[in-house]
Structure 1
Amino acid sequence: MEGQADFPKFGDPETQTMMMLLAPECDLAAILFACAMGKLATVPILLLPGYACNVVVAAGGYPESYSKGDTIELGPYPEGVQVFHAGTERNTNGELKTAGGRVFSVAAYGPSLEEAVSLAYRGVESIRFKDIFYRRDIAARGLHSH
Structure 2
Amino acid sequence: MESLSYRIGPDARYGGTDITISLTPEESAAIGSADIATLTDWFDTALWALAAMRTGRSYRGPETSRQIGAGDAYDMITGLDHRLLPRLQAIRDAAIRRHEELGGTVQELATAMDVGRSTAQYRRVVLRDNPAAFDGWATTPVVHGER
TM range (shorter): under 0.3
Q: Which structure shows the higher helix fraction?
A: 2
Q: Which structure shows the higher strand fraction?
A: 1
Scaled by the length of structure 1, the TM-score of the pair is: 0.23
Scaled by the length of structure 2, the TM-score of the pair is: 0.23
